[in-house]
Amino acid sequence: MRTIIQNGTIVSDTAAFRADLLLEDGVVKAVGAGLSAPDAQVIDASGKYVLPGAVDVHTHMDLQAGAHRAVDDFYTGTVAAACGGTTTIVDHMAFGPKGCSLWHQVEEYHRLADGKAVIDYGFHGVLQHVDERVLREMGELADREGITSFKAYLTYDDRLDDGALFQVLRQAKEDGIVIPAHCENDGVVNYLRGWYKAQGLTQPIYHARSRPARCEAEAVSRLLHLAAMAGEAPVYVVHLSSAAGLAEVRKARAQRQKGVGVETCTQYLTLTEASYADPQEGLKAVMSPPLRTQADCDALWQGLQDGVIDAVATDHCPFHFAVEKQFGAGDFTACPNGAPGVEERLPVLYSEGVAKGRLSICELVRLLCANPSRLYGLYPRKGTLQPGADADVVILDPAKRRTLTHAGLHSAVDYTCYEGMELQGAIDLVLSRGEVVARDNQFVGKRGAGRYLKRGHSSLAE
Ligand code: URP
Ligand code: ZN
Ligand code: ZN
């Protein structure tokens, strides 16, 4: 069980250097020049980048969302992830039955994922109401299951109101738990959805119009103020989509508020509301928050470059265009929210970020590997290639070119939002704990080989 990856450029979040990598028994054993080991299989990575396996801390595998179920389960979704260079996911659970214990969904998610996932995985808990039992169970799940993050929605039917959120934040501060939050102003969004529908304005572009950027900015601001009032409770803004939302984060950063983490997603960096122009095609991009303007994309790239945004995730939440998305034809309010992206993230971010000179290769590793691991209690087991880390490795050839098409992807879904995008760079090989799981865009791993990750505390809780 030894592998040597020779002559590649090893990349961490702070350095890129020519060296060999020795993997043994599923972990990184050594990094250095001229490594050798008897009986080791040798992989030549000359001219290629050797990256830590990417970590996606925002996926929704097998999500039950109202009447519809996301079409990737933990097998197909993690196969897609692996082929795209992601070797760890932390999945956001669906809401459970009204009033249920936090343990209910954890048990349900073990049933959905255990024995299916092909890469390592963890879960974020989900908060859908707050009472004494829920507040107690947050700490229990952190201790016993390594679930050290609990998602709060500021919109949707099972959202938390400000009082409930504030209680959760105080508890999170006490327990060293981080609260990832979906930030949109529910009252305004709901009113606008109804208003557009009443005017007969029901095409996908009105999905975007009914969720203006200021709805995100107001909710981000509110979350950050509530966190500050709760004693700088650890919070993490998921899927930030707008310049206005980012400006609120910048305010908190300028005031040196502790415990604030921020994520954006591939789609908010690379796609715009032009995707909604066609009433049919636009259904593919119905997600919340919606796609924005080019100016928003530019602001988010700036946020990555100056370090205000900590991580890039995917919010992978796929529904078939030909089936579930068609419920939104003629009524955007009936379209299930979400889009695929778990496989596209690393190739698109390498091409649009590194190859186009917007990010360095080290910044890419910081945003896709090291920071998500730190923020969710996985570092240094994941997100780095230092000795002792899990041998999760991606070999990427920067010289290759590829056209992104749905046919070349592995999710169960029937489309990609990035159809036809020309990519610089391609993934040659992906290893999960030392085993090859993807080679030249073919999945070669094993169903159920992924292990459940009991996570430690977030760097935001330190
Ligand atoms: O539209 C989206 N993003 N669906 C998935 C659930 C969520 O809000 O993250
Ligand atoms: Zn969300
Ligand atoms: Zn999500």
| pTM for the predicted model, two decimal places | 0.98
**295 domain-assigned:** yes
Q: Which domain holds residue 277?
A: 52-374
**442 domain-assigned:** no
Q: Hey, what are 270's tokens?
A: 């690379």
Between CA 4 and CA 23 the distance in angstroms is: 6
Mean pLDDT score of the chain: 98
| Residues 333 and 44: beta-carbon distance below 8 Å | no
pLDDT at 311: 99
Residue % of the chain over a pLDDT of 90: 100
Q: What is the ipTM of this complex?
A: 0.97
pLDDT at 332 over 90: yes
- In the chain, the largest separation of any two C-alpha atoms, in whole Å, equals 73
Ligand 2 center from residue 181 Cα (angstroms): 8
How many residues comprise the chain? Answer: 462
Strand partners, 18: 9
CB 207 near ligand 1, within 6 Å: no
pLDDT at 430 over 90: yes
Which residues, by Cβ under 5 Å, contact ligand 3, an ion? 315
**248 domain-assigned:** yes
**57 domain-assigned:** yes
Average pLDDT of the segment spanning 415-429: 98
Instruction: Output DSSP code: residue 149.
Output: B
CB 287 near ligand 1, within 6 Å: yes
Ligand nearest to the CA of 240: 2
**80 domain-assigned:** yes
Q: How many CB atoms lie within 10 A of CB 143?
A: 12
pLDDT at 7: 97
* Closest C-alpha residue for ligand 1 atom 6: 338
Q: Hey, what are 384's tokens?
A: 């780095």
pLDDT by residue (tens digit) across 190-241?
999 999 999 999 999 999 999 999 999 999 999 999 999 999 999 999 999 9
**416 domain-assigned:** no
CB 182 near ligand 1, within 6 Å: yes
CATH number at residue 332: 3.20.20.140
- Burial of 447 from C-beta contacts in 10 A (0-12 / 13-18 / 19+): middle
What is the amino acid identity at position 385?
L
pLDDT by residue (tens digit) across 300-320?
999 999 999 999 999 999 999
**34 domain-assigned:** no
CB 337 near ligand 1, within 6 Å: yes
Half-sphere exposure of 252 (CA within 13 A, CB side): 29
> Torsion angle of alpha carbons 432, 437, 438, 443, nearest 10°?
-140
Ligand 3 center from residue 313 Cα (angstroms): 10
Average pLDDT of the segment spanning 86-112: 97
pLDDT by residue (tens digit) across 9-33?
999 999 999 999 999 999 999 999 9
Average pLDDT of the segment spanning 344-355: 99
Between CA 257 and CA 130 the distance in angstroms is: 25
Residue 5's alpha-carbon distances to 26, 84, 208, 221, in angstroms, are 14, 19, 46, 46
The counts of H helices and E strands in the chain are: 13, 19
Substitution candidate for ligand 1 out of 60, 215, 216, 417 with most atoms within 8 A of CB:
60
Strand partners, 16: 11
pLDDT at 306: 97
Average pLDDT of the segment spanning 33-56: 97
Give, in degrees to the nearest 5, the angle at Cα 437 between 433 and 439.
Answer: 130
Terminal-to-terminal C-alpha distance of the chain = 36
Instruction: Give the strand pairing for 235-240 and 179-182.
Output: parallel
> Torsion angle of alpha carbons 92, 95, 100, 103, nearest 10°?
-20
Q: Hey, what are 386's tokens?
A: 């230092």
- Burial of 322 from C-beta contacts in 10 A (0-12 / 13-18 / 19+): exposed
Ligand 3 center from residue 123 Cα (angstroms): 13
Residue in the block written with tokens 């702070």: 14
pLDDT by residue (tens digit) across 62-84?
999 999 999 999 999 999 999 99
* Closest C-alpha residue for ligand 1 atom 4: 338
CB 60 near ligand 1, within 6 Å: yes
Number of domains in the chain: 1
**At 1, is the pLDDT very low, low, confident or very high (cuts 50, 70, 90)?**
confident
